[in-house]
Amino acid sequence: MSARRRCLDWFMDRHGVVPQAVLDLVAREDLAARENDRSASNGEGEDTRGTYTGSTSNLSDIEKQRRRNLIFDEERFEETFLKCLICREVYNDSDKLPKMLHCHHTFCMDCLYQMYRVEGEFRQSLTGVFRHGMPMTVKIQCPTCREGIIISESELRRLPNDHTIMELLCFVNQTGKNEVQYCTKHQMQPLNFFCEPCIMPVCCDCTVIDHKESKGHIVVNVDEAMKKYTPIVEQTLTDIRQEKSNIVDKRAALEAAQDDLDRIQKDLTRQVRSVFDSIREILDEREKELYDASEAEIERKREVLEGHIKTLGERDAMLNTEFNELQKAKDDKDISLIFTGHKSAREALAKKVYVPTNSTKGFSVTFQFSSRADSVIKQNVANLGDIIFQS
């Protein structure tokens, strides 16, 4: 049995009715197949290629049972009905618009245009007649039945849309592909039953293999299980809602208590900071007085040292000048300048400058603090203030 016929069976089993779009599509393809194989078939297979009516009144019991047990492969359905046979991409209402050829076979507009363009370029390469552009009309062949069609680009774009496939796309999108859950152990078997002891949905094969009633398993229909356990679940949901409401109330109370703690902490911090800020201001003032006194005395001593350093700098500059002039006269072998520079240098050396090198000897600035006062202050600070807690 063909994949298309299996898809029809799926529609019948799942929805109880076959969309007219599906019936039209299969009927049209059956007609095209009979026309192409008329000489070879001699009427054979007529009962399997006729128009599908969706009725099961003339089916055998075996066929009816097979249809009831059929599990539809939705990917195969998409491959069979909804994909272009050339590019294998799903049709859509834009670049992959399904276009029907005169032979009743359908392909997407993009693939048909590519066929038209390739054939036109090939014709153009064979002769110089079309050197200024592609030919107006070319002959393309249907990839399915190989029937030749002479067509222009404008005629190609005016080919009729296959509304059957468009309706089928709309139908599949509305039915939803992922509504059925399948067994992970038995491939493509829907989970139509529920095992109460195991608390899990099972498929038909599971009921006769892993979840036999003879082994203590109680298997019921999924709908019955839903009807039975829905009140229980609703009660559980109600209890959860009530508990969540209690949690919300308790959380609100705790958050209010947290806000109170934040307020208390801010007030306490403000009070403690106020007391210690006042004490810190007194300490800072005394500290500044001591710094100013020490800096004044040290600055006076620094000025003395800087005066000595300036004197030494001036004498060093003078000696450098005498040295350079005497050295130049010696290098130039100028006897007159040599004796003159020598005399000036000796006079400079004779001028002594007194700079004491132990200017800081005996100089000191110390900080004195009564140990008794220190201990009293520390004790007073350690006992300054207290925090009283009340639960």
Same domain, 241 and 344: yes
User: What pLDDT score was predicted for residue 55?
Assistant: 40
- 305 inside domain: yes
Is 271 contained in some domain? Answer: yes
- Total count of domains within the chain: 2
Q: What is the pTM of this model?
A: 0.35
User: pLDDT tens for residues 121-166?
Assistant: 887 777 655 555 556 788 899 999 999 989 888 899 999 999 988 8
Residue 135 placed within a domain: yes
What pLDDT is recorded for position 237? Answer: 92
The pLDDT value recorded for residue 161 is: 92
Task: Find the DSSP H helices in the chain.
Answer: 3-15, 20-36, 38-41, 46-49, 61-69, 74-81, 109-126, 153-157, 163-175, 204-209, 222-332, 335-350, 371-382
Q: Are residues 245 and 357 in the same domain?
A: yes
pLDDT of residue 361: 65
Q: Give the pLDDT of residue 229.
A: 85
Flag whether 56 is in a domain. Answer: yes
- Using alpha carbons only, what angle is made at residue 367 by residues 365 and 370, rounded to the nearest 5 degrees? 150
pLDDT at 50: 33
- 256 domain-assigned: yes
- pLDDT tens digits along 270-298: 998 998 898 889 889 988 888 888 888 88
Asked whether residue 183 is domain-assigned, the answer is no
Of 108, 143, 175, the one marking the end of a domain is: 175
Residue 217 lies in a domain: no
The predicted pLDDT at position 356 comes to: 75
Last residue of some domain: 144, 175, 206? Answer: 175
Place of tokens 């989970």: 191
Compute the distance between CA of residue 83 and CA of residue 98 in angstroms, rounded to an integer.
Answer: 9
DSSP three-state, residue 73: coil
At 362 the pLDDT is 63
Low-confidence ranges of the chain (pLDDT < 70): 1-75, 127-135, 175-180, 187-188, 358-367, 369, 391
Q: Quote the pLDDT of residue 45.
A: 39
Same domain, 84 and 154: yes
Q: Which domain holds residue 234?
A: 225-369
pLDDT of residue 355: 75
Q: Are residues 170 and 63 in the same domain?
A: yes
Q: Which residues contact 135 (CB under 8 A, 6 or more apart)?
A: 120, 123, 124
Answer whether residue 212 is part of any domain. Answer: no
Same domain, 240 and 322: yes
